[in-house]
Each structure stands twice: as C-alpha cells, then as structure tokens.
Amino acid sequence: MFSADAQNQFFESVLFEATGWEHQIEDMQFLHGGCINNAVRLQTNRDKYFLKFNESAAAYEMFDAEARGLQLLAATESLTTPRVIHAGKQQGRSYLLLEFFEPTIPQRNYWEQLGHGLAKLHRHRQQQFGLGFNNYIGSLPQSNEWMSDGIEFFIEKRLRVQAGLAYYNNLIDSSLLRQLDRFYQKLPDLIPNTSASLLHGDLWGGNIITGHRGEPCLIDPAVYFGFREAEIAYTQLFGGFEQHFYDAYREVMPLDGNFRERVPIYNLYPLLVHLNLFGESYLSSIEQTLRRFL
C-alpha cells in the first residue's frame, strides 16, 4: 500500500478531480467485502463518500463500465442505486467515487420493495440481447455484443466464453467441454426464447444494501438485456432471498409454472464465472447440472 501521507494525498486528489472542490480528510475506514478492489469510506469536511480504487490504472475500464451500469439502472427509477460521482485515474491508480450509504435498519417491507422494484426494472425491454457497451462480472470481461436470438446469446456470449476460459486455465477437461457442446444443442427445447429485459446481471445478496431510508439498494451491477428468468434463478444460487421477494415479484411479473425446473440451467453461467474466479469447488455443481439434462 502507501504511507498515511501519500494515502491522504491520493484521496484528496481524487476528491478534487471528482467534485472540483478541495477536501480535508477527517476520517477514513477501509471496508471489507471486496475481493478485487480496495474500498474505503471517506469522511471529509464537506461530505461522506464511498471510494473504490485499484492499484492498476488499467482497471479504469472496469470502473467506467460499473459507473455506466449504475447510471443505466438509476435512469429506470426502479430501485435505489448509489449516485455516481466520478470514475477516473489518479497517481497511476484507477478509481470510482460513489455516494456513501450509512448502514441502516431495513424497512419492514424491504423484500417486497425489492421484488416490486426488480419487476419494474425487468419491464424495460429490448428487441435484442446484449448492451451498447461491454462490462465485467467480477473481474472477468463480459461481452454484450447485440444478438437477436436470446438462446444464441446465452450460449455464445455467456456459457461458451466462460467454459472456454475454464478449459484454457485447466479447470475443466475436453470431456466436459464436449458435454457442454451437447448441452447447448438441447437448450432451445429446455428454455423459452422470450424477450430481453434489463438485468442487474450479478444479483446476489452481497450486491444489495440498504439505502438512506432503509430501502433496498443495488450495487456492483453487470447490466445487460437478457432473460429475466436468469436473474431470478441467480438469486437462488446461494440460498435464495426471502419468500416475500419472490411473491412480490410474481405479483407484477408472473413466472411460468415450469420456471423452477429451469433454474439450474440459467445458473450454469454464474457457476462457470465462480469456477473461473474462485476455483474447482464449483465444478461438481456444473457436472451435476449437465448430468441432469444430458
């Protein structure tokens, strides 16, 4: 890292570039939870801020994509997101400066708000699948090149990319790669080729915090237009959300009665992502899904 003086100089330089005001750092606290970037709460003589930064200036593309994703979500007025102040580079580092949310007690209808808000987000639709810019899921690039067919997009821009990376890194072998190829051929009969909805893209419990009023707030998006069922499936990957969330979502956007059977199919994408990010502990779940559908 760097000395306390150099650290404060960096923070003050970021704040001046981002806001146009000189700031004096009154208090700062490094925060836990991020596995890719540094995160810090900054209290200045003017305001409180949330700063993410990376020792590499090359990470600017990741922060810029995150900023654009947050702004896209905010424009839908579906759910709270932190206000983007600036993404930039300072002293050889890249950073993203955001509004800071103090930890608050969730409102009583927190999960209902999340369900209704996510359904409102998913009502923003596109004829094509993808996005006008590429972004990241975790630290992995996510290609969002527009495609007209949703199943083809799911195969080519999601599953095949991550499977190829896993094979390149010796996390899966050629036999599993061939199984995946057979699985891709079955997909048109396994999932409905519906319209494309705007998705948060990385919706698990760690990417939801409470806003200033105790309402649900979305952070760390990997936005794109895709299958809304894939988003709901992802919420179930690590234990699931409160049932009130799913009930509220269905009030606005009903789910097909066979959706539950398709959950493992959609979750192959986040499982492959986690395999590439965190290693072989996710491999058995991938193999189990393939055995089920092949």
- Is 27 among the catalytic positions? no
Q: Which residues contact 36 (CB under 8 A, 6 or more apart)?
A: 54, 138, 139
Cβ–Cβ < 8 Å for 196, 165: no
What string of H, E and C letters represents the secondary structure of 90-120?
A: ECCEEEEEEECCCCCCCCCCHHHHHHHHHHH
- List 210's β-bridge partners, or say none: 216
**What's the chain's Rg over C-alpha atoms?**
20
Q: Is 40 in a helix, a strand, or coil? A: strand
Q: Which two tokens stand for residue 210?
A: 């409470």
Cβ–Cβ < 8 Å for 100, 140: no
Catalytic residue among 5, 64, 202, 256: 202
Distance separating alpha carbons of residues 208 and 6, to the nearest angstrom: 32
Q: How far is CA 153 from CA 128, 143, 162, 252, 285, in A?
A: 9, 10, 13, 26, 22
Q: Which residue, among 65, 225, 201, has the nearest Cα to 129 in the 3D structure? A: 225
As annotated, the active-site residues are 202
